[in-house]
A and B are shown apart, each in its own frame.
Chain A
Amino acid sequence: MNAWTSPLVLAFLLFAILGYGALFIPSLGGYGYAGHGGFHRGPSFFYWGGVSTYHGPSVRSGSLGGPSFHGGGMHGGK
């Protein structure tokens, strides 16, 4: 029997095609990057090596000076 015509292989081929198509859903949804699911969320584990991201307006929001809209980042809140 030709292996390529066996039901198991054909089912797997169909599964692979559907799986490939399904990858477009998270891809077009911007999965994995900072901002996916809201600006409060950072990038996923798979997006390594990227730059630092800051999701609060201040890295020193607990300071006496309080948060500042302009100042998110390494010197935010100063």
Chain B
Amino acid sequence: MSEATESFAIGAGRARPAYKPKPIQCASCGASLVLKDERAQVIVCAYCRAQIELTDTQANAIGVVRGNEPDFELPIGASFDWGNIRYEVVGRIASANPAEPDDAWSHAFLLYNPRQPSLWLSSYEREWWISGRTRVMPVGDVFAQPPGATVTTHDGRRWRVVERESSQIAYVDGALPWMARVGDQSRSVEMIALDGSGETYEAEQSARGEIELSRGMPITEQQVRQATGGRLRPRAGAAAPLAPSEDRPRLRAISLITLGFGAVSLLTGFVFMFLGSTIASATLPADGGRVGPIVVERPSTVLEVRVHQPFRTDGWSYVEAEVQDADGEFLFGFGDELWSESGFDDGAWHEEKNDYDLHVTIPEPGTYYLAFAVQAAGGQYGGYNPAVETRVTVKKKVGSSLPFLVAGILALLAGAFLFLMAATKVRRSLVQGSMKMLESD
């Protein structure tokens, strides 16, 4: 490592002097390794997997990386062409979310170029991001912000917090610019630009309290494939993506449209359910009677028939009705039971069902009648009907509320599903690699 080299590079306006790869010897097995990045603080031996801490004067083995190598999409040494600059993968990290052990791991690839600041390429399932370290600080404590909160950075830009989470390093290899060990935990806050650019801004805090900041952007798997010359390896058992990264905002927009459609449909359904004008009403004697004439002027008119019996005491009755045409001929019938009961258990109780309603569609214009017949219960009720009257109200409705209610409920369910699809499993991988742009000084 050379601090003079670092100072030279920052804001100097000149090309950064290239670092010449340095041969080192594994402190554990003695194998020859090549250190390409002078900022590396740790390197994992490709032969014995010993983790070697690099200082100015010596290389010390500090442990061994155990466990099988994850299904990294890119090997150490893979080239990555980005912005007309050729980078090389010199380090890799796989991280897991300790709160969700069944979730896929995030992969992070350190992209190194001897004349450029390093970049991080991150993947989660088949979503990709590329990012680099930034020195622009957020205003206030960004880790205290809940998802959805707005954060301002000192350059005046505004960001929305999209996720807060913890992660744990599960595997590491290659050379890395900070002391990364399996089991290290960190927490992070992921934000997205409010200007619609899609740019991301993240803050990560290590267990030691160090905070790293990075800015990045999502890229497509196709872009990654092109940048690697088509040598991208699929993750083992990786499922087909729900949608490419660039489709996420569109998926969210579609989900919002679906939710809006559902809400408007449901609202219309409720309006149709409650809106209507009374066209006939009558109070019939206890044994029933006829209501009408009911004049229907247009085909497929929807009527709501409401039947109510004010019970004076306990009892049961069955109120049925026929829809009759102008000649009094039966068209169809309907009916339901009404009852009132009371008693005394732990205390006095009373229950009753004293009304019902029916929606009916009258297919043809014409004059109609409703003929009601009321029966009282026999048996324990002694055959009497305690209701002394039957009140009938007929309302003409605007239409059927069912199409709107059914479509509204289905659309809300579908919209919620799409929204969750668009909102979850996004940007998780940024938590790991893209944040840690620690330079060796």
User: Measuring CB to CB, which residues of chain A are less than 8 angstroms from any residue of chain B?
Assistant: 2-4, 6, 8-9, 12-13, 16, 19-20, 23-24, 26-40, 43-44, 46-47, 50-55, 57, 69-70, 72-76
User: Measuring CB to CB, which residues of chain B are less than 8 angstroms from any residue of chain A?
Assistant: 196, 249-250, 252-254, 257-258, 260-261, 264-265, 268, 272, 300-302, 318, 320, 322-323, 328-336, 356, 358-363, 371, 373, 375, 398-407
Q: Find the A residue at minimum CB distance from B323.
A: A39
Give the distance in Å from the alpha carbon of A20 to the alpha carbon of B106 in the complex: 42
Enumerate chain B residues within 8 angstroms of A40, measured Cβ to Cβ: 332
Question: Do B407 and A35 have beta carbons less than 8 Å apart?
Answer: no
Question: Do B250 and A6 have beta carbons less than 8 Å apart?
Answer: yes
Give the distance in Å from the alpha carbon of A57 to the alpha carbon of B333 in the complex: 8
- In the complex with contacts A26-B400, A74-B320, A33-B302 CB distance below 8 A: yes
Could you pull out 5 A-B pairs where Cβ atoms are within 8 angstroms? A9-B253, A16-B261, A32-B400, A33-B359, A54-B335
- In the complex with contacts A16-B258, A20-B261, A39-B363, A34-B329 CB distance below 8 A: no
Enumerate chain A residues within 8 angstroms of B335, measured Cβ to Cβ: 51-52, 54, 73-74
Shortest CB-to-CB span from B167 to chain A, Å, is 28
The residue among B302, B329, B402, B407 with the most chain A CB atoms within 10 A of its own CB is B402
Enumerate chain A residues within 8 angstroms of B356, measured Cβ to Cβ: 51
Question: Do A46 and B358 have beta carbons less than 8 Å apart?
Answer: no
Partner of B265, one of A4, A23, A55: A23
Q: Closest 8 CB pairs between A and B?
A: A30-B361, A3-B249, A72-B333, A32-B402, A51-B336, A54-B333, A27-B399, A36-B361
Partner of A9, one of B250, B330, B402: B250
Q: Find the A residue at minimum CB distance from B252.
A: A3
Question: Do A26 and B320 have beta carbons less than 8 Å apart?
Answer: no
Enumerate chain A residues within 8 angstroms of B331, measured Cβ to Cβ: 39
Shortest CB-to-CB span from B405 to chain A, Å, is 8
Give the distance in Å from the alpha carbon of A73 to the alpha carbon of B328 in the complex: 16
Enumerate chain B residues within 8 angstroms of A74, measured Cβ to Cβ: 318, 320, 335
Give the distance in Å from the alpha carbon of A47 to the alpha carbon of B322 in the complex: 20
Question: Do B361 and A27 have beta carbons less than 8 Å apart?
Answer: no
Partner of B330, one of A36, A47, A72: A72
Question: Do A46 and B334 have beta carbons less than 8 Å apart?
Answer: no
Enumerate chain A residues within 8 angstroms of B375, measured Cβ to Cβ: 75
Question: Do B400 and A52 have beta carbons less than 8 Å apart?
Answer: no
Question: Do A2 and B196 have beta carbons less than 8 Å apart?
Answer: yes
Enumerate chain B residues within 8 angstroms of A75, measured Cβ to Cβ: 375
Question: Do B329 and A52 have beta carbons less than 8 Å apart?
Answer: no
Give the distance in Å from the alpha carbon of A16 to the alpha carbon of B336 in the complex: 39
Question: Do B334 and A51 have beta carbons less than 8 Å apart?
Answer: yes
Enumerate chain A residues within 8 angstroms of B257, measured Cβ to Cβ: 9, 12-13, 16
Question: Do A52 and B334 have beta carbons less than 8 Å apart?
Answer: yes
Enumerate chain A residues within 8 angstroms of B254, measured Cβ to Cβ: 8-9, 12
Enumerate chain A residues within 8 angstroms of B362, measured Cβ to Cβ: 30, 35
Enumerate chain A residues within 8 angstroms of B261, measured Cβ to Cβ: 16, 19-20
Enumerate chain A residues within 8 angstroms of B398, measured Cβ to Cβ: 28
Shortest CB-to-CB span from A61 to chain B, Å, is 12
- In the complex with contacts A47-B402, A72-B322, A73-B322, A35-B250 CB distance below 8 A: no
Enumerate chain A residues within 8 angstroms of B336, measured Cβ to Cβ: 51-52
Question: Do A26 and B403 have beta carbons less than 8 Å apart?
Answer: yes
Give the distance in Å from the alpha carbon of A35 to the alpha carbon of B348 in the complex: 43
Q: A13-B257, A27-B399, A33-B400 are in contact. List 15 more A-B contacts (CB 8 A).
A: A3-B249, A3-B253, A6-B253, A12-B253, A23-B265, A23-B268, A23-B404, A27-B400, A28-B300, A29-B400, A34-B334, A34-B358, A35-B323, A47-B359, A76-B333
Enumerate chain B residues within 8 angstroms of A4, measured Cβ to Cβ: 253
Enumerate chain A residues within 8 angstroms of B323, measured Cβ to Cβ: 35, 39
Give the distance in Å from the alpha carbon of A52 to the alpha carbon of B322 in the complex: 12
Shortest CB-to-CB span from A26 to chain B, Å, is 5
Q: Find the B residue at minimum CB distance from A54.
A: B333
Shortest CB-to-CB span from A27 to chain B, Å, is 4
Partner of B360, one of A3, A9, A26, A33: A33
